[in-house]
Structure 1
Amino acid sequence: MDKSKTLKGNLDHAIDLFQKGAHEEAHNIFRDLIVIAPQTEMAWSGLGAVLRKLQKYDAAVTAQKHAHNLAPNSLSIKSNLVNALNNAGRHSEALPLAQKNFLANKGDVSFVKAYVKCLKGNCQAELAVEIVDAFVAEFGNDAELAVDVSLARLYLGQFTKGFEDFEQRFESGEVALNKKIEAKRWRGEDLGGKDVLVFKEQGFGDNIWFSRFLPALHREAGVVHMATQRPLLRLMSKFNGIDKLLEMNQINLDDYDYVLPICSLPKATKFSDKAPKPSPQPLNIPDDSRKRARTMLGRYKDVKKVGIVWTGSLTYKSNHLRSVDIKRFLKLAEIPNVQLISLYKGDAIEDLKTSGAEGIILDACSTDRDFADTAAIIDELDLLITTDTGVVHVAANMGKPVWNMVTYEGFWMYGAGTRTPWYPSMRIFRQPAEFDWDSVFETIEMELRDFVAN
């Protein structure tokens, strides 16, 4: 903070830094301002906004609540508080305020978006769709709002409209492509006889799930090549519906008529509400990966081998909501004739050591070369218990028994029940309320004891 500037001068400077993306610098100024001027609501709200950008969501909520207490009638502060609560996963707490903001400002798309996010988080998909349809009918389309509600439509089985709305992720800015790829991106053109490059998008699990639509594309297009991340290359090498599999750095865009992001496959193949659901793709597990897995797990042939994953990518903005403390699994490790096996690979592998679980839970995958190695480990397991990460899609794609622990809101393809038609071997263990992992693990422990006994 610049002591030569007035309070307003420092506040304006912090806001300017925030708008330019200098979040750490802005944070330092806002932090100092609330110390020297604790009754300044805009300093508190600015601090909350920058904490939200830094993905410190609970602290962001605290700051916005201070601002709201100081200025309870400020529309911008009420909006900021709702956004912080939504990011923190506290949708039920945000809902009453979001509803009030929406009802008082029905023509303001920002309040509609916040309300729709609250409704989705509270599993009120039908009302979310109704609100958006009414807004669009009166005020016209908004790309970001269309993407927000697309997942609610998919949850309700409205696949045609849901995937149509999901295509607006490029216009909304949610997905940014480089200029060369954007210039050749498919935008609804007829793909009959065309040479198409399907390329990776979003997470590993998304690429595995959406790949089931490749055969339908291949029946229509001329040549279909697919480019993906190196960790998936060996696993995907026997996929149906592609003529050639490439690594991302092998792409020559001049070879293709269109570039098709993999998450656009349902729209491109005209997948509709009542269409039969395509089957998962066959995954390739090379012999060297199988040998490695059997060597690692062969000593556990007399017990139930239960794989676990407690967290996903640490860079995913909602990872804090889907992840659990690894120490929760220690009670499962107490069950006789069970060996827990970690399938996690990434920076959070240190959790094994810091929790004291190292050795109790076998680290089987932190040195995996790729997902083919992971699939080989999965193939040796009796069961996988995991949070909703990419490993879920590998195991369920293979038809292995999977117990998927999901948040109260969950994800559209898992629906509202305990089974999903997309993955017949998967059971879904959903939080009965926001943040209630205790109930999930109590049920898991009981079910696992029965699984071992039977």
Structure 2
Amino acid sequence: MTSSDILAQQAGQLLASGDFAAAETLFRQALALDAGQVFALSNLAWMREQQGLLQEAQSCYLRALAQSPDDVHLLQNLGALLMRLRRPVEAERISRRVLALAPDMPSGWSNLGALLAALQRETEAERCHRDAIELDGGYANARYNLSYLLLRQGRLPEGWQMLEARPQPTAFGDYFRFPRWQGESLGDKSILICPEAGMGDMLMLCRYASVLRQQGASRVSILCHAPLKTLLQTLAGVDTVLAIGDAVPDHGWDYWTPILSLPCLCGTTLETIPLLPSYLHAQPQAVLDWAGRLPAARLRVGLAWKGNPGFENDAERSLASLDTFAPLAAVDGVQFVSLQKGAGENDISSAISLAGGGSALTDMADTAALIANLDLVISVDTAVAHLAGAMGKPCWLLLPDYLPDWRWLAGRRDSPWYPAMRLFRQPSIVGWEPLIGHVADELARMVAAKPVRTGKTA
């Protein structure tokens, strides 16, 4: 073993322990001794990816592949990186090279399937995922990737089953001293619904509390993200709402369930989605308080333009800035209201004058009170859109062409989950400008049909 190999091995141990800075120092020392040290290059590439330095990561992968051109794991990593860089043609070429080298590798087929699904070549994508599952029936990534494709196509029963292969939190099962619900009879039983993923999932699927009641549950509780606690106390069918960070007892229920498993366990199809015109509500006094703070206008329209920047597809689903909405400002008679909280809440635009929002919003119950005073919400795919939908407020949802979420299905302009929602889809990967122009035209038509508002009350 060379000195370079020894340094790279020590660096790998440091990386595994979480000491990234020391690991990088040793990796670089290893490369100073041997510029083609593959282990050092591949790990530096991974580190650069985690830091968002994608071009540097690509350079490291290419240097490693120059030394080991048939390393399928390096090729897979480079293919995934090229997809992050939105270079699908090169990514597909790399993915097919992986399969030429290792045709029996399930991950190769699943990765190609995910790539093809992102390019909306869904028939080919499905075949790839099923090939991966045939090679390894327990390969979770293939089942999880296939679930997104099936759910987008409205093939819900099999989609929900495949979704059970998703990465799931283990903390609840480790903590609670009562079992996870697997679909047993709920007659005279109590159940705790636990959070999973983001607030949008909780807002969309908390409606299943009523379904569990209909199945005989004697008591239904929800554990949720802290900003949702007050809001979810307005949900019918729920006895107790607890927030992450509260002192949650480890006993006292018969079952617990992660919220994303409820559609599967309840046998939901497109025809049996629990369709409620509104199931979350603003507090009356908070609604009145916001009514007194908003200027009178013929039409009040709430805007949300950014989601969580940590979301894997956020660069596509979020707008670059508030200025992207500038064409809406040409519509007379509209008072725009900011519903943005967190990322982007301090954005300003010379074109659009905003009321409300930002630091004035305390939690999602406060956002609900503000929405109650609006005529319309225009939002990217984030929790605000789910909140408007759950309240029955008209909402125009802006969806990217690249990887729109499964819950909005494929090709539809309406949502079977939210009767008052209208979907606006990018026509292709050309940015938001054409779609925002279309939204401005539709808004002008809405204003023309709207009677003049005479007061400030909601």
Short-chain TM bin: 0.7 to 0.9
Please state if 1:313 is matched with 2:308: yes
- 2:327 touches 2:436 (CA, 8 Å); kept in 1? no
Show the counterpart of 1:390. Answer: 383
CA gap of 1:56–1:324, structure 2 versus 1, over 3 A, is: farther
* CA deviation string 1:272-328 (max 9, x = no partner): 46535532652121123112221221x2x2343222222112333433332221131
Query: Using the alignment, how far apart are the partners of 2:84 and 2:307 within structure 1?
Result: 17
Helix, strand or coil at the partner of 1:197: strand
1:124-139 → structure 2 map (5 Å cutoff): 124-139=121-136
- 1:234 touches 1:284 (CA, 8 Å); kept in 2? no
CA gap of 1:107–1:20, structure 2 versus 1, over 3 A, is: farther
| Offset at residue 68 of structure 1 (A) | 4.8
- 2:47 is aligned, of 47, 50, 73, to 50
1:16-415 → structure 2 map (5 Å cutoff): 16-27=13-24, 43-57=40-54, 60-61=57-58, 63-65=60-62, 67-68=64-65, 72-88=69-85, 90-91=87-88, 93-169=90-166, 173-178=167-172, 179-181=174-176, 184-220=179-215, 221-248=217-244, 249-272=246-269, 274-279=271-276, 281-297=278-294, 299=295, 301-326=296-321, 327-352=323-348, 360-407=353-400, 408-415=402-409
Tell me the percent identity. 27
- 2:201 touches 2:260 (CA, 8 Å); kept in 1? yes
Q: TM-score, normalising length from structure 1? A: 0.85
- 1:92 touches 1:118 (CA, 8 Å); kept in 2? no
Helix, strand or coil at the partner of 2:359: coil
Helix, strand or coil at the partner of 1:436: coil
* CA deviation string 1:165-190 (max 9, x = no partner): 22233xxx443424113863224444
Show the counterpart of 1:447. Answer: 442
Q: Provide the aligned length of Structure 1 versus Structure 2.
A: 442
Query: Using the alignment, how far apart are the partners of 1:206 and 1:243 within structure 2?
Result: 20
Structure 1 gap segments, 5+ residues each = none
CA gap of 1:216–1:119, structure 2 versus 1, over 3 A, is: same
- 2:297 touches 2:335 (CA, 8 Å); kept in 1? no
Please state if 1:437 is matched with 2:436: no
Query: Using the alignment, how far apart are the partners of 1:282 and 1:226 within structure 2?
Result: 15
* CA deviation string 1:124-152 (max 9, x = no partner): 33433332233323432212322222111
* CA deviation string 1:74-96 (max 9, x = no partner): 32221111121334455455233
The letter for the 1-side match of 2:300 is K
Helix, strand or coil at the partner of 1:254: coil
- 1:23 touches 1:53 (CA, 8 Å); kept in 2? no
Query: Using the alignment, how far apart are the partners of 1:32 and 1:453 within structure 2?
Result: 68
| Offset at residue 197 of structure 1 (A) | 1.0
| Offset at residue 235 of structure 1 (A) | 1.8
Helix, strand or coil at the partner of 1:350: coil
| Offset at residue 343 of structure 1 (A) | 0.8
- 2:277 touches 2:420 (CA, 8 Å); kept in 1? no
CA gap of 1:184–1:88, structure 2 versus 1, over 3 A, is: farther
| Offset at residue 37 of structure 1 (A) | 6.8
Structure 2 gap segments, 5+ residues each = 450-458
* More displaced 10-residue stretch of structure 1: 405-414 or 181-190: 181-190
CA gap of 1:426–1:28, structure 2 versus 1, over 3 A, is: farther
Query: Using the alignment, how far apart are the partners of 2:198 and 2:150 within structure 1?
Result: 21
- 1:212 touches 1:280 (CA, 8 Å); kept in 2? no
Query: Using the alignment, how far apart are the partners of 1:291 and 1:336 within structure 2?
Result: 26
- 1:195 touches 1:258 (CA, 8 Å); kept in 2? yes
| Offset at residue 205 of structure 1 (A) | 0.9
The letter for the 1-side match of 2:243 is E
- 2:345 touches 2:358 (CA, 8 Å); kept in 1? no
Q: TM-score, normalising length from structure 2? A: 0.85
